[in-house]
Chains A and B, each alone.
Chain A
Amino acid sequence: MRLYWEVARRALRRQLAYRTENLAGMVTNAFFGYLRAALLLAVYQSTTSVSGYDATAAVTYAWITQAMIMIVALWGWWEVEDTIRTGDVVSDLSKPFSYLGFWLARDLGRAAYFVAFRALPILVCGQVLFGLHWPSSPGAWLAFALSTLLAVVVSFGWRFLLNLSAFWTTDARGLGGMAGAAVMFLGGFVVPVRFFPDWLQPIVLALPFTAIMQLPADLFVERVAGWAAVAALLQQLVWAVAMLAAAQLVTYLATRRVIVQGG
């Protein structure tokens, strides 16, 4: 356990080196936060409630999902694919730790950095520009915190699987780019899934992608609360376990394919 803790800590510290990059990314995230919130506010000029979100909840939804972009690495993450392409994967596989655990720890460290240095400033920005709805009780905060952690795990599992496809195809990024975009639309990033037509909602809500954006955002704006919040967390937990199990299985299948060339 100590090992994984150290791996996570180092991943976090590694990110600390990219201060200007983070600031530039923050500017871009905040600008898009403004655009998305302005669009939603325009929608609420002709209605007071859409699918159970009032104007403040909708604006908050836009900002919380903007804040989460880097936490769940929405724009893509190909660190594992890199090592498969260059062959460095062999040295990682031969080290005496769980390969999946190693990358999960790294990703959690990376995500922790973005909670503190990206998400919080973005939310402050949203609060100053629009005024947000903040979780109203310690329980709601706790639910949101747990939900964010599970969101990272589910998104990690999904990204890890896309990366591992590089063991079988040289087009992992092409395929993965499209699959990654699924999170943007089916995960409720671009608009809340609950804005979708009524017949489509149950289908999309049953997919794992809402566990990455929609559910934590719903818990933050308290569109989902009480027992429904517990159900949402359980749903995320199930997907987290399923993703990790799938990732472990695929890792096993992939490592049987690796042939180390001598030299």
Chain B
Amino acid sequence: MEPLALYARLVGAQLRGQMQYRVSFLLALLGSFLVNLIEFGVVVVIFTRIPLLVGWSLPETALLYGLSATAFAVAEVFASALDRFQVHIVQGTFDRVMVRPRGALFQVIAEDFALRRFGRVGQGVLVLVFALQLLAITWDVQRVAVLVLALASATVIYFSIFVLGAAFCFWTVQGKEATHVLSYGGDALAQYPLDIYQGVVRRFFTFVVPLAFVSYEPALYLLDRPDPLGLPAFTGLLSPVAALVMGVLAWLGWQQGVRHYQSTGS
């Protein structure tokens, strides 16, 4: 419990700081909500031109979008400091983190609880609710479990990607933007049916970086659709396994990175 209490204290102090700039905060909140809402508008615009996108209807696509966007936004709330982690390496302030008597990853994460990004969480939830309203899913215990586990697992998967992106900075800070391929790119990819991507890309994001388990596989299960790759129906239940694997990889990657760290010369 001690780490949680400490996290709450650190975050609490920070939020009081953020709240000193109330207008900025409200603008950022509103901005992240609006910008992402319009982004979903694009999906709607596309469906005004065609009835089905590779066999997926608007509510079905919205389900994918809502799952991925919600999980990604929640992960981003906690991982905000990880996405700016290169500053620690460039300025050598990671030294300070190293000498404190708490885990390094814990300290970095506790640096920023991005309440301002709740606008985006709201947008994701809104799209998800919209999708679930329009879809006639017959809910049973398994389906509820798949939905809940998918959201939790997807959040862990995205968070792990942010940790790996931060760990990447231990080797190079200049290449940081390339890690956005898996974070922001991953979210963008998982918002649409994987059927639209070529075979190699789909296999890569199913078996190597398991983004298929963020939204696509759980959605296939919820909607009773067969998997075009021929995976059995219970694949939709495997999101937690994918999350566990990503979590372990992220932890190992971070550990390697910390071991590799050599402060700055200047």
Question: Chain A residues in contact with chain B, CB under 8 A?
Answer: 18-21, 23-25, 27-28, 31-32, 34-35, 38-39, 41-43, 45-47, 50-51, 170-171, 174-175, 177-178, 181, 184-185, 190-191, 195-197
Question: Do A21 and B49 touch (CB < 8 A)?
Answer: no
Chain B residues closer than 8 Å to A19, beta-carbon distance: 174
Instruction: Name the distance in Å between B228's Cβ and chain A's nearest Cβ.
Output: 13
Known contacts A32-B188, A178-B31: A24-B24 contact under CB 8 Å: no
Chain B residues closer than 8 Å to A195, beta-carbon distance: 45-46, 49
Question: Do A174 and B48 touch (CB < 8 A)?
Answer: no
- Report the separation of the CA atoms of residues A174 and B24 in the bound assembly, to the nearest whole angstrom: 6
Q: Give the dominant DSSP class at A's interface.
A: helix
B95 within 8 A of A: no
Closest to B46 in A: A43
Question: Do B46 and A46 touch (CB < 8 A)?
Answer: no
Question: Do A21 and B174 touch (CB < 8 A)?
Answer: yes
- Report 9 cross-chain contacts, Cβ distance below 8 Å, ordered by A residue: A20-B174, A21-B175, A23-B178, A28-B184, A177-B31, A178-B30, A190-B39, A191-B46, A195-B46
Chain B residues closer than 8 Å to A45, beta-carbon distance: 54
Closest to A186 in B: B38
Question: Chain B residues in contact with chain A, CB under 8 A?
Answer: 21, 23-24, 27-28, 30-31, 34-35, 38-39, 41-42, 45-46, 48-54, 172, 174-178, 180-181, 184-185, 188-189, 192, 195-198, 201
- Report the separation of the CA atoms of residues A43 and B180 in the bound assembly, to the nearest whole angstrom: 25
Residue among B52, B178, B185 with the most chain A CB within 10 A? B178
Contact of A174 among B28, B177, B185, B201 (CB under 8 A): B28
Question: Do B181 and A38 touch (CB < 8 A)?
Answer: no
Closest 9 CB pairs of A and B: A20-B174, A174-B27, A42-B196, A24-B178, A24-B177, A24-B175, A178-B31, A31-B181, A27-B178
- Report the separation of the CA atoms of residues A229 and B239 in the bound assembly, to the nearest whole angstrom: 51
Instruction: Name the distance in Å between A76's Cβ and chain B's nearest Cβ.
Output: 12
13 additional contacts (CB under 8 A) given A23-B178, A34-B201, A35-B197 = A20-B172, A21-B177, A24-B178, A27-B177, A28-B178, A28-B180, A28-B185, A170-B21, A175-B27, A177-B31, A178-B31, A195-B45, A195-B46
Known contacts A178-B31, A196-B45: A43-B189 contact under CB 8 Å: no
Question: Do B31 and A35 touch (CB < 8 A)?
Answer: no
Question: Do A181 and B197 touch (CB < 8 A)?
Answer: no
Instruction: Name the distance in Å between B39's Cβ and chain A's nearest Cβ.
Output: 7
Contact of B185 among A23, A32, A185, A190 (CB under 8 A): A32
Closest to A196 in B: B45
Contact of B53 among A32, A43, A184, A196 (CB under 8 A): A43
- Report the separation of the CA atoms of residues A58 and B182 in the bound assembly, to the nearest whole angstrom: 25
Closest to B26 in A: A174
Question: Do A38 and B24 touch (CB < 8 A)?
Answer: no
Closest to A29 in B: B177
Instruction: Name the distance in Å between B85's Cβ and chain A's nearest Cβ.
Output: 15
Chain B residues closer than 8 Å to A28, beta-carbon distance: 177-178, 180-181, 184-185
Question: Do B31 and A27 touch (CB < 8 A)?
Answer: no
Instruction: Name the distance in Å between A192's Cβ and chain B's nearest Cβ.
Output: 10
Instruction: Name the distance in Å between B189's Cβ and chain A's nearest Cβ.
Output: 6
Chain B residues closer than 8 Å to A190, beta-carbon distance: 39, 42
Instruction: Name the distance in Å between A249's Cβ and chain B's nearest Cβ.
Output: 25
Question: Do B41 and A43 touch (CB < 8 A)?
Answer: no
Known contacts A28-B177, A42-B53: A178-B35 contact under CB 8 Å: yes
Question: Do B192 and A171 touch (CB < 8 A)?
Answer: no
Chain A residues closer than 8 Å to B196, beta-carbon distance: 38-39, 41-42
Chain A residues closer than 8 Å to B39, beta-carbon distance: 185, 190
Question: Do A174 and B31 touch (CB < 8 A)?
Answer: yes
Chain B residues closer than 8 Å to A21, beta-carbon distance: 174-175, 177
Question: Do B38 and A171 touch (CB < 8 A)?
Answer: no
- Report the separation of the CA atoms of residues A64 and B232 in the bound assembly, to the nearest whole angstrom: 40
Instruction: Name the distance in Å between B265's Cβ and chain A's nearest Cβ.
Output: 18
- Report the separation of the CA atoms of residues A195 and B184 in the bound assembly, to the nearest whole angstrom: 24
Chain B residues closer than 8 Å to A181, beta-carbon distance: 31, 34-35, 38
Closest to B182 in A: A31
Closest to B44 in A: A197
Closest to A30 in B: B181
